[in-house]
Amino acid sequence: MSVFKLLRTIILTGSLLLLSGAVVSAAPGPRIIHDPLVQTFAGHRMVLTAEIADTDSNIDMARIYFKASNEDRYYFVTMHKVDHDIYTGILPTSLPGTESIKYFIVAKNGNDEIAKSQRYLVSLRDNNKKLARVR
C-alpha cells in the first residue's frame, strides 16, 4: 500500500496534516504529499519529488513554482511522472549569492480542480560549509 493510500484512509477530515515532515493536502481534487527540502548546497540543481494523486480523475499537470527569496517573480518547472503517483521536478542551479529559494507545488486534475502545497523555504549553503543535520 502506498503512503498516499495509507494516509488517505487515515485522513477523513481537516485540510492539512503534518506527519513525519511530509505535508499532505486533504482538500477535494488532487492530493499532494511532499517531504520538503530544508537545506542544500548552493550551485547545485535541486531534485524535488512528490506523490500526487486523485481518486476521481487523472493528474493533467504538475509544476513546481520557485524563486530566489529576494526576488518578486516566480518561475516554474514541469514535474514528470516517474512512477505510479510519483512526480519529480528539477530546479535549475541558483545564481551566485542566492541565500535561499522559495517554492510550492501545483497540480491540476482532469476535472480542472487545482491543488497547491504550502510554500517552502530552502536554505542554500556554501559548498565549503557543512549542512545542518535535519532530524
pLDDT (0 to 100) of residue 5: 39
pLDDT (0 to 100) of residue 35: 94
Strand partners, 81: 87
pLDDT (0 to 100) of residue 55: 86
pLDDT (0 to 100) of residue 127: 67
Residue 127's SS3 state is coil
Name the grid cell of 112. Answer: 480542472
* Domain formed by 3-125, architecture: Sandwich (2.60)
pLDDT (0 to 100) of residue 9: 34
Q: What is the mean pLDDT of each run of 10 residues along the chain (135 residues)?
A: 38 33 62 93 93 92 96 97 95 91 96 95 78 51
Sorted by where each begins, the domain ranges of the chain are 3-125
